[in-house]
Amino acid sequence: KENGKCCLGIFGSVELICSVCSSHAASVCHSCFRRQEKLQRCGQCRFAQYCDKTCQRAAWEEHKQECAAVKSYGKVPNENVRLAARILWRLDKQGSVVSDTQLAALEELEDHIYDISEDDLKDFKVDIHNFLDYWPRSSKPHTVDSVSKMLGVINCNGFMVSDQRGLQAVGVGLFPNLCLVNHDCWPNCTVVLNNGNQSAVDTMYHSQKRIELRALGKISPGEEVTVSYVDYLNLSEDRRRLLKQQYFFDCTCEHCTNKTKDELKMAGAVVEGDKVPEETVKEITEYSRTMLEKMEKARIEANYNEVVKICRECVEKQENVLADTHIYQLRMWSTLSEVLSYLQFFEEASTYARKMVEGYLKLYHPNNAQLGMATMRAGVTHWQAGFIEIAHGMICKAYAILMITHGPTHPITKDLEAMRMQTEMELRMFKQNEYVYHTMREAALKNQPIRMMAEPATESIKNLFRRK
C-alpha cells in the first residue's frame, strides 16, 4: 500500500532457474525463451539452441555442466530431470538461498512425495532413475532422497515459462517467492511472466526470466494475497480434483464451497422465454464432452480441417440447447474461432470469437488475464474480417484489462497499444470515407497485417502453475 492506494505490481522476482520443455527444444532460445525461426545450436551437446552469440554467452554459466552431461549421457532427459540437475548444480555452488530477495529456502518447499498416487509414482521413479544415470560422476554425488525431494518440489511448485509473447508454455521454472502465495479460485492477484522486456541494460542478463505478482484490484490492509493455481472456467468439482491431484490440498475457497457459477457453466438455453428441458441439456452436454475429446485429438495432430468439421457439427447441436455460458460450448467457440482465423475464414471466426467473449464476461473476474487475452484475440479477428468498429472496441477493452494483469512493459501489452493506435486511426478513416478506407486496408493487408499466433497452440499458457 502507498498513500492508501494499492500498487498493481506487488513484487517481481527473477527465477531461481528454469529449463525449456523437450517438446519446444528446437523452436525456442534456451536462454531468453524467444521463439525464432532460425536458432544456433550448441556445438558441443548439439541440444541447446540460441538466438545468437549474446544469448549463448549469457546462458553458458548455467549450460556448461548440462552441456557436458548431455554429451556424456548420449541423450536428452525430460525437462523435469534437466531442471532438477540445474538446480542442484546451482545449490552445490551457492547454497539454498541464492538471492538477497529470496524469502524461502528450497528445503522449506513442500514435495509431497508420500502423497503421490500409484500411477504418478511410476513416472516419478522413472525420472529418479533417469536423473541418476544423467548426473555426471564428476559432480557432487546426491542421494536418492535428495533427488526425490528436488523432483517433488518441481512437481508441486514449478511454474510454466512462456514464450516472449506470453501465448504458449515452452518451459518450466522454479520461483521460490511465488511458492509462498496461496491459492484462491477467485484471487485478488495474478502471476505474469515478463521475459520479453529486454533493454540494452538487460542484455548482460539476457537469460533471466522475470515473474511478477500483480494485484487485480484494491487489496485491503491485512488481506491475504492469493493467486489461482487452476483455470476458473472449470467446474468447482473439477478444480478441487485438479488441486488435490497436483497440490495435495482440499480447496475451501468461497467459490468452491458455494459452487459459485457452476449452474451457469452447465446451464441450458432459454428459447422464447422457455427453458430447454433438463434431459435435453444433459444429452447435448454428454455429446459435447465426447466431441471435445475428438476435437482435442485432431488438434494435437494439427489436423485443423478435421477440428473445424468436429466443432461445426457440435455447435450446430448445441445451438438453442446450451446457454452462452455453458463451458463446453465456450470451448468449442474458442477453438473454432482460433482455427478458423488460422485458416483465414475471418468472418466466420469473428462470430464465434464474439460469442466466446460474451460468455467469458459472465463467468470470469473482470480483470482476469484469460478474459483480456480472449478479448484481444477476438478484436484482432474482427479486424481481420474488416469489422473495424467492433475490432477497435474489443482491442481497447483488452488493453484496459492487460494493463492491470500484465503491466505496461509486457510485450503483449505493447503489442496491444500498437494495435489500439492502428485501429483508432483506421476507424477515423473509415468514418470519413468507407471506400477509401477499404481500398487502403486491402493494400496494407498485403504488406504487413496485424499478426497473432502463427498457428493454433496445442499447449497454452492458461495455467502458469505447473501441471503434470
pLDDT tens for 234-277 read 999 999 999 998 889 999 999 999 999 999 999 999 999 999 99
Percentage with pLDDT > 90 across the chain: 66
- Position 169 scores a pLDDT of 81
Residue % of the chain over a pLDDT of 70? 85
Scan for cell 468461497, then name that residue.
254
Paired residues of 448 in beta bridges: none
Q: How confident is the model at residue 101 (pLDDT cuts 50, 70, 90)?
A: low
More confident residue, 130 or 8: 130
Whether the per-residue pLDDT at 308 is higher than 50: the answer is: yes
Q: CB 455: neighbour CB atoms within 10 A?
A: 12
What pLDDT is attached to residue 198? 47
Cβ proximity of 159 and 172 under 8 Å: yes
C-alpha cell at 121: 509414482
Q: Among 73-82, 134-143, 167-176, 355-364, which is the least confidently predicted range?
A: 167-176
Between CA 312 and CA 307 the distance in angstroms is: 9
* Highest-pLDDT range among 9-18, 87-96, 171-180, 221-230: 221-230
Rounded Cα gap, residues 60 and 58, in angstroms: 6
Weakest-pLDDT range from 174-178, 181-185, 390-394, 399-403: 174-178
**pLDDT tier, 125 (very low <50, low <70, confident <90, very high otherwise):** very high
Assign 4 a pLDDT band (cuts: 50, 70, 90). very low
- Please report which confidence band the pLDDT of residue 164 belongs to, taking 50, 70 and 90 as the band edges: low
Checking if the pLDDT of 16 tops 70, the result is no
User: What's the pLDDT score for residue 12?
Assistant: 62
Least confident of 73-77, 82-86, 114-118: 114-118
357-394 burial: b if 16+ Cβ within 10 Å, else e:
bebbbebbbebbbbbbbbbbbbbbbbbbbbbbebbbbb
Mean confidence (pLDDT) of the chain: 87
Q: Are 106 and 153 in contact (CB under 8 A)?
A: yes
Pick the CATH number of 254-447 from 1.10.150.530, 1.10.240.10, 1.25.40.10, 2.40.10.10: 1.25.40.10
